[in-house]
Amino acid sequence: MPTVVDELSVKVSADTTGFRTALDELAKRADSFSGAIAKAFTGAVTGGKSFEDVLKSLALKLSSMALSSALKPIESGVGSLLSGLLGQTGTTAFAKGGVVPFADGGVVSQPSYFPLGRGLGLAGEAGSEAILPLQRGADGRLGVGAGGGSGNVTVNVAIQTQDAASFRKSEAQVTASLARAVGRGRRGL
C-alpha cells in the first residue's frame, strides 16, 4: 500500500521591527567594542605605552561602555515617567483623556508605567512587549485567542496509487489524513 504524506503550507507574516532594532543596537555595540580594542592596541603600538597601560585603558573604556548600557533603561524609564506626568509625550496618547485602549491588543514599544493593584507596573522596559486579549475557550479555559481564519491555509495531499481501484480501497485513509492536516492547520501547527 502506498505511503500517504500529509503536507501543510502556512503563510506567516510578522512585524519584525523590534527585532531589527535590537539587531541594529547589537551591531552598534559590537562596533563600539571592536573600535575600543583597536584604539587601545593602536595607542600601544604608536604611543609607546606599556602593555599594562593598554590593558588598563581598555578595561576603563569597556567598563564605561557597560555602565552606559546599564543606565540606559533607567534613563529612558525616568524620561517616560516624567513625560507621562507632565503630559509631554508628543503622541496622540492623550487624545482620549490619557487612556490608550488595548482591548484588541497592541504593542508597548517603550517603558510605560501603569497602575497595578496597589502599586505601579512597568511594561516595555526590556524592549517591545505585546498585549494580547484573553478569551475563554469552549472548554472554559482562559487563554490567548488564536485569531484563526485570518489567513489562507493551503493543504497539499500527495496520493500515489497504481489504479482507481487502489484509490477506492485507500479512500478512508486519505480522508482521515486530510482531516488531520486540516485540524493541524486550524490549531496553527
CA separation (Å) from 13 to 16, 97, 130, 150, 181?
9, 33, 16, 11, 21
> Is residue 24 included in any domain, yes or no?
no
pTM over 0.85: no
Select from 132, 133, 113 the least CA-distant residue to 121: 113
pLDDT digits over 47-91, tens only? 777 777 777 777 777 777 777 777 777 776 666 666 665 554 444
Quick check: is 94 in a domain? Answer: no
Structural domains in the chain (count):
1
Q: Crossing angle of helices 51-86/17-47, nearest 10°?
A: 150
Is 157 a domain residue?
A: yes
Beta bridge partners of 106: 131
Structural domain harbouring 183: 5-10+140-187
Radius of gyration of the chain (CA): 28
Residue 149 lies in a domain: yes
Residue at 168 is within a domain: yes
